[in-house]
């Protein structure tokens, strides 16, 4: 087993294709610093979902958490001028936590788990945003 400071050079990159991954893959990324990349099928699914969301927003359709508020404010329309504020405030709310910080390995495991979920293409996340998450993982920006 290699230390956390040395990239897992013996393993090929883990390619996210929108399917579940093995626990061993999570361990290799979390502890062995195995590289993670997004495969073409996942990229295509993500891009298609994002295009659909962009069309819904352009048509001024109500999309929970995108053009509406959250929870009790789900019926409240949020115009394009306030959309960035809505998303930023959501990040601020979700970024708060309690307790001691997680270890680097636990953080890396959570990051790869999130990347797997996002690679499925259900969130309409821009593919470039997943690329930023994977770059943080690659450079150990935890």
Active centre residues (catalytic): 64
R_g of the chain, CA atoms, integer Å: 17
Tell me the HSE value of 112 on the side-chain side, using a 13 A CA sphere. Answer: 30
Instruction: Report residue 114 as tokens.
Output: 């999130």
Task: List the one residue out of 114, 135, 107, 120 whose CA is nearest residue 39.
Answer: 120
């Amino acid at each position: 087993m290699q230390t956390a400071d040395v990239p897992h050079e013996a393993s090929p990159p883990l390619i996210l294709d929108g399917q579940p991954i093995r626990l061993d893959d999570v361990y290799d990324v979390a502890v062995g610093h195995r590289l993670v990349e997004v495969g073409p099928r996942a990229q295509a699914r993500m891009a298609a979902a994002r295009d659909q969301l962009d069309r819904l927003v352009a048509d001024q359709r109500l999309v929970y958490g995108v053009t509406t508020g959250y929870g009790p404010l789900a019926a409240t329309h949020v115009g394009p001028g306030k959309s960035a504020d809505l998303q930023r405030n959501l990040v601020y709310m979700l970024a708060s936590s309690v307790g001691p910080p997680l270890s680097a390995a636990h953080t890396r495991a959570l990051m790869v788990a999130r990347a797997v979920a996002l690679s499925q293409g259900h969130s309409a996340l821009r593919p470039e945003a997943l690329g930023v998450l994977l770059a943080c993982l690659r450079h150990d920006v935890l």
